[in-house]
Amino acid sequence: MANISIRNVHKSYGAHEVLKPFSLEIADGEFIVLVGPSGCGKSTMLKILAGLEPATGGDIHLGEREVTDLAPGDRDIAMVFQNYALYPHLTVRENIGFGLKMRGTPKAEIERRVLEAARILEVEKYLDRRPKDLSGGQRQRVALGRAIVRQPQAFLMDEPLSNLDAKLRVHMRAEIGALHKRLGVTTVYVTHDQIEAMTMADRVVIMRDGEIQQIADPDTLFQRPDNLFVAGFIGSPGMNFLSADVERSAGGAAITLFGNRIAVDEARLAGASTVIAGIRPEHFHLGEGPATFTVRPSLVESLGSEKYVYFDGGAHMVSAGESEDDTSKGLIARLAHSGPMAEGQDLVLSFDPAELHLFDAVSEKALR
Amino acid sequence: MNRTPLQSLALYGTVVLLAALILFPVYWLLVTAVSTSADLSQLPPSFWPDEAQWGTFAKVWEERPIPLWLLNSMLAAIGSVTLSMVVSVLAGYALSRFTIRGGHSLGLFILTAKMLPATLLVIPLFSIFRNFGMIGSLWTLVLAHSTLIIPFTTWMLKGYFDTIPRELEQAAMVDGCSPMGAMVRVVLPVATPGLAATSLYAFVLSWADYAYARTFLVNAPDSWTANLGITTMRGEYSTDWNEISAAAVFVAVPIIVIYLFLERYLVGGLTAGAEK
C-alpha cells in the first residue's frame, strides 16, 4: 500500500488538450473516485496512472518511487477493466494467477494466493472453468481476484460495474466497498455514475472537459458545490437552477424567486448583477414556509413514500448543461408525501432561503 | 423460425444441388482413377466402372516419384506458411494496434500486391531469382508464394486482431507482460481460430500452385512439386488419365487431412467470455 502523488499531469494529442494539468495527493489507503461525463478525461487519467498511456507532462509518485516512465507491469498496481478483460483461453485459476506467474512467483505460492483470493471473492467453485462459462457477476469477481491476488500498492478500477445489471451493480458496489475496508489498498476508481461516486468514495474528483472541477468528500460536494456544473452533476434528481437579477436598494441587495423577495448579503454577491440560484429538489417543502409560492404540477411521479413534482419555472429556468436530469420537464420538487396528488391542481410549496445556492451567472462559480 | 414444407423442400433441394455441384469433380476424379482406359473412352460414360481398378493407386505410387513430389510440395507449403505467418502476424498486429502516420495508406499499398495477377509477377520474380542463382531451388517457391500470401493474410489477421479487445493486452501489461509478451501470451492464443484459418488459406494457396513451380523448377526434377510432377505424366502420344487421376487423389489427401485437423480451430468463439 502506498500514497499516490499526481503532479501537473497533462495529456495532449497535437493541439488538442484532453487532460489539463491534473494534481492530486491520494493518501495511503484512500478510496478516490474520478467522476464526470463521457470524454471528461477520467479514463485517460487512470490509464496514465496505470502506465498504459504516456502523459505529455507531469509526474506520478507511488509511495517513494517515481513511476511516471515505468512500464505498467513495473508499477506494482492492479487494474480492473470495464469489460473485465479476462483471458478467454485461460481458466479462472490461471487468470487469477497470471500476474504472479509473470513475476516468477513459485507455483506453490501462486496456488496458495489464488485459493485465498478465490475464497475472499467466493469463486472457489469456478476455478477450473473458462470465463465464457461464468455469469457477469462471477466474471467481475474473477477480475477483482486477478487484482487482489498480487497484493499491489494500488488498485485502479475503470468503470468496473457498468456492465452489470442494476441489482447486481448495487450488490457489487457494496462488495467492492467491503473489500476496500478489508484490504485497505489505495484505490482510484473511475465512473460516470454519481451514485457510485458518492456511496463509495472517501473523496470524489469531479471532472469536466479534461479539468478538475472540485475535489471533496461526498457530503461537501453535495452541500458546498464549487460551481454550477458540480451542483448540477451531484444529486439525483439534479439541482434546480433559476437566473435572478440582483436588485440593490437602501435596504441592501436582494433577488426575487417565485415572487418572494430574498435578501442576499452584498459581500456574498461580489458585485454580480445577475446570479443563478440553485435549490435542490428535496429542499422544497409542501405547505407554507419562509418563502412560499403556488405551482401547478405538470407531472407527478410517485415513488411510494415520496413524490417527484415537476412544474414550470418560467423564463428564468436555467439548465446546468450536463446535468443527468431532463430539465425540459421543468423544475422538480422531491416531496416526502405518500397521499394523493394530482397534476394540474394548484400546490403550495415553500423553501428556506438559507438552503439556496448562488452562482455567478458569468463565471458559474459558487457565491458564498 | 418455422418453415413450411415447401420452404424446407426448396432449402434442402438447394443444399443437395450445391453439394452435388461441388462434390461432382471430386467424385469424377475418383471414378477416373479406378477406371480403365477403355471404361473412360466409352460413350455414354459410366458413373462407376464395372470393375474398379484400385491397383492403379499402388502402381502410380511405385512407378512415379509421388512421395518426393508430395514432400517437395509439403516443404514449399510449410516454408511459405511459416514465412508468411511470421510476417503477417507482426504486420497485421501493427496495422491493427498502432496509429502511425500513413499507416492506413501503407496497409492499402500492401493489398495492391494482391491485386496483380500471379502470372504478371512471374517474369520479374524469375529475373530476380535467376540473378541470385536460385532457379531450380524450392526456396524460389517459398519466397514467390509468400509474396502472394502475405498481403492477403496480413489483412485477414488485421481484421481478426481488430476484434480482440485491447483491454486484454492492457490487462496483460498491468500483470507484468511486455507489449510483445502480451501479444504472444494473450493475443495470439486468443487469435488461434484466425491464425488457423489464415494458415490454411496460405497452405492451400501454396499447395495449389502450378504456374510458379512450372516456371522456376521445370529443369530441376528433384524439386518438382506434386502439381508440376503430375503434368509430366502426360505422354506425347497417349495419356493414362486414370494414373493422373490416382496421382491427383494423392495430392488432395494431405489438404483433406489438414482441414479435418484444423476444423475445430476454424470455428470461432474462443473469445467468448473475455468481455461482458
Three-state DSSP class for residue A367? strand
Q: What angle do CA A214, A216, A220 make, to 5 degrees?
A: 105
Domains of chain B are 5-53 (no CATH), 65-266 (1.10.3720.10)
CA distance B221 to chain A (A): 46
Q: DSSP for B210-235?
A: -HHHHHHHTT-GGG--HHHHHHTT--
Taking a C-beta distance cutoff of 8 angstroms, is the pair A213, A206 a contact?
yes
Taking a C-beta distance cutoff of 8 angstroms, is the pair A203, A216 a contact?
yes
Taking a C-beta distance cutoff of 8 angstroms, is the pair A189, A34 a contact?
yes
> Would the CB atoms of A73 and B173 count as touching at under 8 Å?
yes
Chain A CB contacts of B189 below 8 Å: 87, 89
HEC assignment per residue over B131-170: HCCCCCCHHHHHHHHHHHHHHHHHHHHHHHHHCCCHHHHH
The CATH number for A237-367, chosen from 3.40.30.10, 2.40.50.140, 2.40.50.420, 3.30.450.20, is: 2.40.50.140
Quick one: average pLDDT of A200-212?
A: 95
CA torsion through residues B180, B183, B185, B189, sign: negative
* pLDDT over 70 (residue B273): no
* pLDDT over 70 (residue B266): no
Give the span between the Cα atoms of B184 and B207, in whole angstroms. Answer: 28
Average pLDDT, chain B: 87
> Would the CB atoms of A85 and B275 count as touching at under 8 Å?
yes
Chain A CB contacts of B101 below 8 Å: none
- pLDDT digit string (tens) for B8-24? 999 999 999 999 999 99
Chain B CB contacts of A102 below 8 Å: 175-177, 181
Range of lowest pLDDT (A103-107, A136-140, A184-188, B234-238): B234-238
Quick one: average pLDDT of B117-137?
A: 89
> Would the CB atoms of A81 and B171 count as touching at under 8 Å?
yes
Quick one: average pLDDT of B32-49?
A: 82
CB within 8 Å of A50: residues ≥ 6 apart: A72, A75, A77, A79, A156, B170, B174
Quick one: average pLDDT of A144-169?
A: 90
Taking a C-beta distance cutoff of 8 angstroms, is the pair A344, A276 a contact?
no
Chain B CB contacts of A95 below 8 Å: none
Chain A, nearest residue to B170 by Cα: A52
Quick one: average pLDDT of B77-106?
A: 90
Q: Which of B98, B175, B183, B192 to mutate to test the interface with A (most CBs of A within 10 A)?
A: B175
Taking a C-beta distance cutoff of 8 angstroms, is the pair B92, B191 a contact?
no
Instruction: Tell me the CB-side half-sphere exposure of residue B41, using CA atoms within 13 A.
Output: 6
Chain B CB contacts of A103 below 8 Å: 176
What local confidence, expressed as pLDDT, does residue A206 receive? 96
Contacts 24+ apart (CB under 8 A), B162-166: B162/B96, B163/B271, B164/B190, B164/B191, B164/B271, B164/B274, B165/A83, B165/A85, B165/B274, B165/B275, B166/B97
pLDDT band with cut points at 50, 70 and 90 for residue B274: very low
What local confidence, expressed as pLDDT, does residue A207 receive? 96
Rounded (to 5) percent helix, strand, coil in chain B: 75, 0, 25
Range of lowest pLDDT (A4-13, A14-23, A168-177, A189-198): A168-177
Which of B13-17, B56-60, B133-137 has the largest mean confidence? B13-17
Going across the sheet that includes A16-26, the strands are A16-26, A4-13, A57-62, A65-66
What local confidence, expressed as pLDDT, does residue B51 receive? 81
- Cell for A296? 401547478
Q: Where are the domains of chain A?
A: 4-229, 237-367
CATH homologous superfamily of A4-229: P-loop containing nucleotide triphosphate hydrolases (3.40.50.300)
> Would the CB atoms of B170 and A72 count as touching at under 8 Å?
yes
Q: Which of A47, A84, A148 to mutate to test the interface with B (most CBs of B within 10 A)?
A: A84
Q: What are phi and psi of A35, to 5 degrees?
A: -135, 150
Of the candidates A229, A233, A335, A86, the one whose C-alpha atom is nearest the C-alpha of residue B170 is A86
Q: Is the pTM of this model over 0.95?
A: no
Q: DSSP for A238-255?
A: PPEEEEEEPEEETTEEEE
DSSP letter for A284, please: E
What local confidence, expressed as pLDDT, does residue B268 receive? 53
Chain A, nearest residue to B191 by Cα: A89
* pLDDT over 50 (residue B271): no
- pLDDT digit string (tens) for A85-105? 999 999 999 999 999 999 999
Residue A322 carries which side chain, given as an amino acid letter?
E
Give the span between the Cα atoms of B177 and B165, in whole angstroms. Answer: 16
> Would the CB atoms of A85 and B192 count as touching at under 8 Å?
no
ipTM over 0.95: no
pLDDT band with cut points at 50, 70 and 90 for residue B40: confident
Taking a C-beta distance cutoff of 8 angstroms, is the pair A307, A356 a contact?
no
Average pLDDT, chain A: 91
- pLDDT digit string (tens) for A220-272? 999 999 999 999 999 988 999 999 999 998 888 999 999 999 999 988 888 88
What local confidence, expressed as pLDDT, does residue B258 receive? 86
CB count within 10 Å of CB A363 equals 12
- pLDDT digit string (tens) for B183-203? 999 999 999 888 988 898 899
Instruction: Tell me the CB-side half-sphere exposure of residue B176, using CA atoms within 13 A.
Output: 14
What local confidence, expressed as pLDDT, does residue A343 receive? 85
Q: Regarding predicted confidence, which is higher, A14 or A328?
A: A14
Range of lowest pLDDT (A6-15, A123-132, A343-352, B258-267): B258-267
- Cell for A263? 435578501
Chain A CB contacts of B167 below 8 Å: 81-83, 85
